[in-house]
A and B are shown apart, each in its own frame.
Chain A
Amino acid sequence: MRASGRHLALIAASTAALIWAVPFAWMAVASLRPGVPPDIASLTPSGPFNLGNFKEAWTSGSFPLWYLNTLLMCGGILAVQLVTVSMAGYAFARLNFPGRDWVFSAFLLQLLLIPPLLIVPNLATLVTLHLYDKLLGIMAPYFASAFGVFLMRQTFRSIPRDFEEAAMLDGAGVAVLIRHVLLPLARPGLVAFAIVSVTAHWNEFLWPLMAVSSPRNQVLTVGLASFASGAEAGSAWGIIAAGTFLVAAPLLVLFLVFQRRFVSSFVFSGIK
């Protein structure tokens, strides 16, 4: 009785997982089929297959530029975030000050007020700071991260105080303490944060779309949207599949290789 129930559950889960995989399967198959075959929807075509669509997508879109901009954006955001969240995370984890919980709640407000939601004032701020239509303008709202502060607070709290006390007796200041004592011990937290941050910003579309207008500052998602609408007009579905693959592949590959790390980071990202 119990075993058969479990089999039924697994069959149902397998069906769902197969349906879930269909868009990926089509992307992989269609991206390898040259020209515009009439059965472009088929998941099991007989061929021919080649890499022509990838070549076509690569040259008709600005993929090298989009990759570069996306890498600069994700890297820039992460670099600044690592500094700001370590500092604030330490303050909330280790220092007692009046109104600490209140200030912490005020930080958490940022989790809900994401930049595209506040498009009107945020664009005005970018214009005032001369950051509109610049990669730095896409990055700036993310330099503070409530999620990162929260995560680093938890991470620092899980580290025994003995290490710090020893360093303090040796006369170490707060900066030395954080950089040379705590951060090396906080690596799992930092890695989890880096994975969540890079995934979020690599995939983000609305804010980069709003904050930038010239093509030379576009990131992958924004580029893909304009590239796909152009190719769609010509029914070049194989090229769209190849372009989508180029945008999605880096994170998908990293995920498949470092699956455990990714999963535990994502789970960490939701813990209150």
Chain B
Amino acid sequence: MSIDERALGAGAELLPLIPARRRPWLPVAALLAPSLLFLALFTYGPLVRVTVESLMVGRFAGDSAFGVGNYQRLFADPHFARAAANNVVYAVGTIIPSLILALALALALRETDRFTALLRTLVVMPLLIPLVAAAALFSFILLPGDGLLDFYLHKLGLGMVNWLGDPDLALGAVIAITIWKNTGYYMLFFLAGLAGVPQELVDAARIDGAGAWRRLRSIVLPLLGPTFGFVVPIALLNALTQIDHVVTMTQGGPSDATNLLLYYIYQQAAQNYDTGLASAATVVSVAALLTLTVTSFRLIERGTHYES
């Protein structure tokens, strides 16, 4: 703060020029009110409401009974256990391959010329289309017999595979679609992160005889810490919420093989009208999501090197 500024500040205090000073919270309240109204209606309110509903075990003549019955039913439901287990596989199976692939592509395409720009565009394009559009395309690609994958596998002399109809393969197929959809998005973050890695550091390490792998592990990855710090939480959120293709392609089947937590919630709420069970499943899923995102963020922060 310069001397002039300090003088100006002192002057403002001596002469009560700005009437808002008398009620300083008024402009703040007015500016935040529109956002807070909608957050109260569609974020905080629902969070409280879903928690209350999850503990409501019966409604008799206007009276409500509270208890943990919904949670007991939830944890006893094999469909929920399957959905939770599938979701863990879905999260690991989508996040790790797409992040590795995204980082590899970013490293390969970091120098900009016409060719790398074209390749980047091709990889980013899936980000721009709805997941249901991707599902429509992949429904045909994975179609047994006439589908694109079988058509070309047949030319290679391989037999036909019912990707979405086989309980052992269906989740893998859904995972593949998600990887196709998200890798380009994550690549953009890594490209931006790599632009912040000083080339002198990498060059110095090379002169010191560090191989490509060593340079990546000891210099590039630690400096990409902040990038991982927001890509991983985004990827975790996606692993819980990106289920559009499950809704349109598999409906959780065959025999629960692609049932995921949010699809389970959707089934209980919109198909079985079991509000108690859907609410309990929502509370468990949201708690898991919050814990995982905050933990991953903290862990990555700890392993990060920030340039000061």
Instruction: Tell me whether A224 and B132 are in contact (CB under 8 A).
Output: yes
Q: Are B136 and A83 in contact (CB under 8 A)?
A: no
Q: Is B121 an interface residue (CB 8 A)?
A: yes
B35 touching A144, Cβ below 8 Å: yes
- In the complex the two chains form, is B237's CB within 8 Å of A112's CB? yes
Do A20 and B262 have beta carbons less than 8 Å apart?
no
On chain A, the residues within 8 Å of B131 by CB distance are: 203, 205
8 Å CB contact of A125 from B42, B183, B241:
B42
| B37 cross-chain contacts in A, Cβ below 8 A | 144
CB atoms of A84 and B230 under 8 A apart: no
In the complex, how many angstroms separate the beta carbon of B236 from the nearest chain A beta carbon?
9
Which of B30, B129, B131, B226 has the most C-beta atoms of chain A within 10 angstroms of its own C-beta?
Answer: B129
- Give residues of chain A (139-164) contacting chain B, Cβ–Cβ below 8 Å: 140-141, 143-146, 149
A166 CB within 8 Å of chain B: no
CA distance A120 to B49 in the complex (A): 9
Across the interface, A84 reaches (CB within 8 A) one of B35, B49, B138, B293, namely B35
Contact B234 A270 (CB under 8 A): yes
On whether A141 and B50 interact (CB within 8 A), knowing A16-B123, A266-B185, the answer reads no
Most buried by A among B20, B132, B134, B241: B132
The answer to whether A244 touches B137 (Cβ under 8 A) is yes
Interface size on B, residues (CB 8 A): 97
Q: Does B105 contact A (CB under 8 A)?
A: yes
A232 touches B139 (CB 8 A): yes
C-alpha spacing A259/B39, complex, angstroms: 32
Beyond A97-B24, A144-B35, whether A115 also contacts B42 by CB under 8 A is yes
Interfacial residues of chain B within 162-215, with CB under 8 A of chain A in the complex: 180, 183-185, 188-189, 191-192, 212
Contact A17 B140 (CB under 8 A): no
Q: How far is the CA of A88 from the CA of B31 in the complex (A)?
A: 5
- Asked whether any CB of chain A lies closer than 8 Å to the CB of B61, the reply is no
**Residues of chain B with a CB closer than 8 A to A50's CB:** none
Which among A18, A20, A42, A240 is the interface contact of B184 at CB below 8 angstroms?
Answer: A20
Indicate whether A119 sits within 8 Å of B129 (C-beta atoms), given known contacts A12-B108, A26-B137, A97-B28.
no
A-binding segment of B73-81, B82-90, B277-285: B277-285
Contact across chains for A84 and B38 when beta carbons are under 8 A apart: yes
Instruction: Give Cα A242–Cα B198 distance, bound, in whole angstroms.
Output: 46
A71 part of interface (Cβ distance < 8 Å): no
Of A87, A106, A117, A228, most B-chain CB atoms within 10 Å: A117
Are the C-beta atoms of B34 and A255 separated by less than 8 Å? no
Query: Smallest distance from the beta carbon of B288 to chain A beta carbons, Å?
Result: 11
A residues within 8 A CB of B92? none
CA distance A117 to B282 in the complex (A): 7
Interface residue from A27, A202, A221, A259 paired with B121 (Cβ < 8 Å): A259
Q: How many residues of A contact B (CB 8 A)?
A: 97
When the two chains form their complex, are residues A20 and B31 in contact, meaning their CB atoms are under 8 A apart?
no
Contact A271 B230 (CB under 8 A): yes
Q: Which A positions have Cβ atoms within 8 angstroms of B?
A: 5, 9-10, 12-14, 16-18, 20-24, 26-27, 30, 38-43, 83-85, 87-88, 90-91, 95, 97, 103, 106-107, 109-125, 129, 140-141, 143-146, 149, 168, 174, 199, 202-206, 209-210, 220-221, 224-225, 228-229, 232, 235, 237, 240-241, 243-244, 247-248, 251-252, 255-256, 259, 262-263, 266-267, 270-272
Can you name 28 A-B residue pairings with CB atoms under 8 Å? Answer: A9-B108, A20-B126, A39-B151, A87-B31, A87-B32, A106-B39, A107-B35, A113-B43, A116-B266, A117-B240, A118-B47, A121-B50, A144-B34, A149-B35, A168-B18, A203-B129, A205-B132, A205-B247, A206-B243, A210-B270, A221-B132, A225-B132, A225-B135, A225-B248, A229-B248, A241-B137, A248-B129, A271-B230
Q: Which 6 A-B pairs have the closest CB atoms?
A: A41-B151, A121-B46, A144-B38, A141-B42, A203-B130, A91-B31
B residues contacting A by CB (< 8 A) are 18, 20, 24-25, 27-28, 30-32, 34-39, 41-47, 49-50, 53, 101, 104-105, 107-109, 115-116, 118-119, 121-141, 146-148, 150-152, 180, 183-185, 188-189, 191-192, 212, 226, 229-231, 234, 237, 240-241, 243-244, 247-248, 262, 265-266, 269-270, 275, 278-279, 282, 285-286, 289-290, 293
